[in-house]
Amino acid sequence: MTAKDQIQKDITENDVVLYMKGTKEMPQCGFSSRVAGVLNFMGVTYKDVNVLADDEIRQGIKEFSDWPTIPQLYVKGEFVGGCDIVTEMTLSGELDKLFDDEGVGYNKEAAEQIRAANA
């Protein structure tokens, strides 16, 4: 299976996928840690893919999305963005709306707590 095939399989079979450096339990860069932290705090069920464990996936995800950096968040097969975009969407409430629109479960109270802490 090619890297592209594996990525397509992951984002098709899972509602939310985060391509990151490290794992959701042990992120290995600050940007990955921030996005995983948001998803973990909001109680989102997601698949984490450690790009450090597979160079083909690490390069392949950049080509797949035409986005040069990691982490990369996918929701229902669609590329959402990297750390800055996910952070902005969290603070503006856009991430909540995306999750609501796509039927992804999350803790709305936790999302509000993130916004309150960053107001």
Q: Any alpha helices (H) in the chain, and if so which ranges?
A: 3-13, 30-41, 55-65, 83-92, 94-102, 108-117
Name the residue ranges covered by the structural domains of the chain. 3-117
Contacts of 51 (CB under 8 A, 6+ apart): 19, 20, 21, 57, 58, 61, 70
Whole-prediction pTM: 0.96
Q: Count of CB atoms within 10 A of residue 24's CB?
A: 19
Residue type, 56: E
Percent with pLDDT over 70 in the chain:
100
Residue whose structure tokens are 């042990």: 26
Q: How far apart are CA 119 and CA 114, in angstroms?
A: 9
Percent with pLDDT over 90 in the chain:
98
Q: How confident is the model at residue 20 (pLDDT cuts 50, 70, 90)?
A: very high
Domain 3-117 belongs in CATH node 3.40.190.10: no
Q: pLDDT (tens digit, 9 = 90+) per residue, 55-112?
A: 999 999 999 999 999 999 999 999 999 999 999 999 999 999 999 999 999 999 999 9
The pLDDT value given to residue 102:
97
The pLDDT value given to residue 119:
85
